[in-house]
Amino acid sequence: MYIDPDRDAWELFKSLPRDQPIQMLNLVRLKPKADYPVGHPDHGKDLTGLDAYRAYGRTTAHIFKRLGGRQIWAGKPQVMVTGPGSEVWDIAFIAEYPTSEAFIAMVRDPEYRVLVGHRTAGVADSRLLRLEGISDPGEGFGE
């Protein structure tokens, strides 16, 4: 299960160019019930993983927007056509940032670091893939 980047992946992310737009493909599997730690205001409430993830989105949206981020695509995965059938995802979306430095600033923001607790409480597994857009893609796949 993957919730947060590991140290090696984070270091590699930071070593890539920081001054160009990036897109981040997000695949999210939610917990049936949110799992907030003792002491969190939402601990013990009957919230679903989706409730917690939506709280994460709502409460961090102003930080995302302030740093120039925007969601450019969102959808509900239906079936894994190619790949392990065990990888079932509840949410898929692509977030775009003006630079990778903006993404780094978001995850380092002190308010974001508190609010990300909603994400941790609601997510069972996830994948996050940094993408670099092709400015003039061809007509064929992979061009």
**Cβ distance 83 to 4 under 8 Å?**
no
Q: Is CATH 3.30.70.100 the right assignment for the domain spanning 17-131?
A: yes
Residue 86 buriedness (CB in 10 A; 0-12 / 13-18 / 19+): exposed
Average pLDDT over residues 119-133: 96
Domain positions in the chain are 17-131
Residues 59 and 135: their CA atoms lie apart, in Å, by 33
pLDDT tens, position by position, 26-77: 999 999 999 999 999 999 999 999 999 999 999 999 999 999 999 999 999 9
